Structure 1
């Protein structure tokens, strides 16, 4: 008795199954990361759900900033999952960076919008004097447009600048 090839079961494609499983895990991880960024934890305790106590990045890149700047900056970095933050640095124009009272949070647009809005809503609590993002500045009275400084970074399109008291 010989069986026709059409009657034989189709062999399993283990590579295809593995790729599908890996893709599903990657997608689930991305959804989890996106959900954490979209819903920053309540800031009441400072370490609940991603506050400074469990932030892997800590104050890396901040330099010798003021204590209040470091504390608020670490909290914001952790809440919004920002990997790259720059602190103390020389600038050609007037800036709070050399004084250790400013941080630049390098972020994609969605994260930057949420971070800037949170910072604006919590200026007093976080000791923020002003926020600059996407060529706008808020000193506590709402967004005001700034002059064109000639580039993406100079116009704060790729990062949120926060200056502290």
Structure 2
């Protein structure tokens, strides 16, 4: 007898399967929907490449400060303003303006030269200092080199221990009379011991020329007294000229073999 039990119909099983899978399919659909939302959101800007960031840190930008200070004249422009040179007669202030109360920017020592532009305002002469126009007192300038400023070719050994005025006498004489090779400086007693006297070793008539030269420039050299060939000349009695001296017994004592010059020490004009 045939069995009455029959296998479920395919349609029935399809219905059961759809009911079992429905929750799972729902979740999957939700996930797909979420993914769609993400895809449709606005795009974010791309990050800068790493290489660009590294380059920004390792290569700082140079900042130009040219606008923070005035431009100086070029050497060519400054040189075009120079009309010549003058010597400085004494320690001189280089000032910012043509006035005694203008700031002193530097000092120029006696015997040095300054570049002048040819511009003069009252008692002031314009000079070029460090490439810029500045001012110095006209009275401190000279067209000729002041006496006693150039070092002697024989060196400075004679100058050791001498006062400033005595050094000036030595340098002035050696420049004007280069044939003189021997001098007596500091030593012994009296004026020589204090560095205020110089002996110029000469016995010929050149000694007379030297003595007259020193006397003629006594104020500029700070000379107070000259002795030569048993005669003496002093600044205090300059109007009287040479005065005779008593015999001291020898050529050296009577100054026949050297010109003796005494200075004030540091009073040269």
TM-score (normalised: structure 2) = 0.40
- Determine the structure 2 residue equivalent to 1:123: 218
Contact 1:85–1:105, Cα closer than 8 Å, also in 2: yes
Q: 1:150 to 1:63 in 2, by over 3 A?
A: farther
- Determine the structure 2 residue equivalent to 1:146: 245
**The one of 88, 105, 117 aligned to 2:200:** 105
In the alignment, is residue 68 of structure 1 matched against residue 165 of structure 2? yes
In the alignment, is residue 44 of structure 1 matched against residue 144 of structure 2? yes
In the alignment, is residue 155 of structure 1 matched against residue 254 of structure 2? yes
Mark the structure with the bigger radius of gyration: 2
Q: Pick the structure with more strand per residue.
A: 2
- Determine the structure 2 residue equivalent to 1:77: 174
Contact 1:62–1:85, Cα closer than 8 Å, also in 2: no
Shift of 1:54: 6.2
Q: 1:62 to 1:148 in 2, by over 3 A?
A: farther
Contact 1:128–1:164, Cα closer than 8 Å, also in 2: yes
- Distance in 2 (CA, whole Å) between partners of 1:125 and 1:67 is 12
Shift of 1:102: 0.4
Gaps of 5+ in 2: 1-142, 265-269
Q: 1:88 to 1:55 in 2, by over 3 A?
A: closer
Secondary structure of the residue aligned to 2:251 is coil
TM-score (normalised: structure 1) = 0.64
Contact 2:159–2:185, Cα closer than 8 Å, also in 1: yes
Q: RMSD of the TM alignment (CA)?
A: 2.1
- Distance in 1 (CA, whole Å) between partners of 2:219 and 2:157 is 25
Shift of 1:110: 2.0
Q: Pick the structure with more helix per residue.
A: 1
In the alignment, is residue 89 of structure 1 matched against residue 187 of structure 2? yes
